[in-house]
Amino acid sequence: MCLKNKIKLFIGLSTLWVILFLFASCKGKTVDKDEDSASQLSDTLLKNMTIGIAHTTQVRSELRLTGKITADQSKQIDVFALVTGTVKEVNVELGDYVQKDQVLAVIHSGDVADYERQFVEASSTYAEAKKAKEIAEDMYASKLISSGDYLQAQQEYNKADAALTKAKEMKKIYSISNTSDYVVKAPISGFVIDKKINKEMQIRPDDGDNIFTIAQLTDVWMMANVYEKDIYKVKEKDTVLVNVVAYPDKNYKATIDKVYNILDPQSRVMKVRVKLNNPDYLLKPDMYGNIIVSYTEPVKMLTIASSALVFDNSNNYVVIHNGNKDFTVQRVDVYAVVGNKTYIQQGLKENDKVVTSNQLMIFNAISKE
């Protein structure tokens, strides 16, 4: 080989070695940079993460019941028509708020005219009996009549007084005001939640059906059915959470007010009642919702904060902190998640330290290694 070719070969080899050296140097710097970033990330996580301790507790589970809002029956009154007649006026609609003694409807009735006639007759008889009694008292004092005549006048007065009192009560009950109209008034203040009367309708008291229902809705009930297998999970005075379809983001704290200790023979369910405060009238009769009952199961399990769970590839994991920057990813079998608590069947030991914040970042960092 000539000298010129040897020089070219030497230069080429030298250039190749320089390129390889530079490549190796660049590659080494990138690894160092990555290691520095990982170290800085770990320091940040250590400063911001929170730790929870796995410990054994009694399992608290939840039972969800479907319920319906109803008026508090102790604060609602059915209004009946007490006379036969034709509806002359209807002054309220379904859902209206009414004050006590507000006129709901007017019914033109021959019965009312008869009650008015009886009142007029009773008033006249009473006036005559009273005058006769006063005359008898004066004559008896002057010894102009016998004691028997005086007692008879007294008895006639008492009889007339009782008849007038009855006529007054009838007039008060039927709201009679010197006409043939029966005035239907609200017995309490509240909402009209049922209405079965319209203008020109023929009314008969022997129909047995109410014409209005007035209810105070500052308190309402939610009624729900409990299946036979779940009866042991509910008790009177238990605290529950209630939510309704109309307000999905709002929860009402309440108590089980009544447990009806009988089963429906066909459906095999038992009814329970929850009483709810309703000062703003947001809860309305016939709304549907859920009653969430929390109850204690006869078993103990390891418990951790629900925020510690990481769900990946159809499995649940937690990140265990072993100290300093030492972390372990552990798959766990979840028995139940109840609010902010999770019960673990397998995968953890008593007093294991699990990461409850930023655990997803740590999980991803460890999983990539």
Q: What is the pLDDT of residues 268-303, one digit of tens each?
A: 999 999 999 999 999 999 999 999 998 888 899 999
230-244 confidence digits (pLDDT tens) = 999 999 999 999 999
Half-sphere exposure of 200 (CA within 13 A, CB side): 0
Q: pLDDT-derived band of residue 110, with 50, 70 and 90 as boundaries?
A: confident
Q: How far is residue 365 from each of residues 28, 309, 319, 358, measured CA to CA in Å?
A: 21, 16, 11, 11
Structure tokens given for 247: 């307000």
Please state, in angstroms and rounded to a whole number, the distance separating the CA atoms of residues 356 and 359: 6
Q: Estimate the crossing angle of helix 359-367 against helix 3-48, to 10 degrees.
A: 150
**Axis-axis angle for helices 147-173, 110-141 (nearest 10):** 160
The DSSP output letter for 283 is S
pLDDT of residue 200: 93
pLDDT value of residue 101:
92
Rounded distance, CA 205 to CA 208, Å?
A: 6
Which pair of tokens denotes residue 345? 């069947």
Do residues 272 and 224 touch, judged by C-beta distance below 8 A? yes
Domains of the chain and any CATH numbers: 49-63+299-367 (2.40.420.20), 64-72+216-292 (2.40.30.170), 75-109+180-215 (2.40.50.100), 110-178 (1.10.287)
**Is pTM, for the whole model, over 0.75?**
no
* Per-residue tokens: 60: 């608290």
pLDDT digits (tens, 9 = 90+) for 52-105: 999 999 998 889 999 999 999 999 999 998 888 899 999 999 999 999 999 999
Structure confidence at residue 31 as a pLDDT band (50, 70, 90): very low
Nearest Cα residue to 52 out of 347, 317, 300, 318: 318
In sequence order, the 6+-apart residues with CB closer than 8 A to the CB of 78 are 194, 210, 212, 213
To which H or E segment does residue 224 belong?
strand 219-227
Convert 142-173 to b/e letters by CB count within 10 Å (16 or more is b).
Answer: eeebeeeebeebbebbeebbebbeebeebbee
Query: Which residues does 50 contact at the CB level (< 8 Å), separation at least 6?
Result: 355, 356, 357
Supply the Cα-derived Rg of the chain in whole angstroms: 43
Task: Please compute the mean of the pLDDT values over residues 245-263 and round it to a whole number.
Answer: 93
Residue 3 has pLDDT above 70, yes or no: no
Residues 6+ apart with CB under 8 A from 41: 361, 365
Q: Do the Cβ atoms of 84 and 321 come closer than 8 Å? A: no
3-state SS class at 307:
helix
**pLDDT above 70 covers what percent of the chain?**
86
Integer Cα distance of 324 and 49 in angstroms: 12
What's the confidence (pLDDT) of residue 52? 94
Query: Distances from the Cα of 243 to the Cαs of 70, 180, 240, 288, in angstroms?
Result: 14, 50, 10, 9
* pLDDT recorded at residue 369: 58
Half-sphere CA count of 113, side-chain side, radius 13 A: 6
Q: Quote the pLDDT of residue 18.
A: 45
Report the mean per-residue pLDDT for the chain: 84
Answer whether residue 45 shows pLDDT above 80. Answer: no
The confidence score (pLDDT) of residue 351 equals 94
For the ranges 89-98, 127-136, 357-366, the one whose mean pLDDT is highest: 89-98
133, 151 Cβ separation under 8 angstroms:
no
Distance CA 186, CA 215 (A): 10
Cα 177 versus chain centre, distance: 44
For the beta sheet containing 212-215, the strands, ordered from the edge strand earlier in sequence to the opposite edge, are 76-79, 212-215, 190-195, 97-98
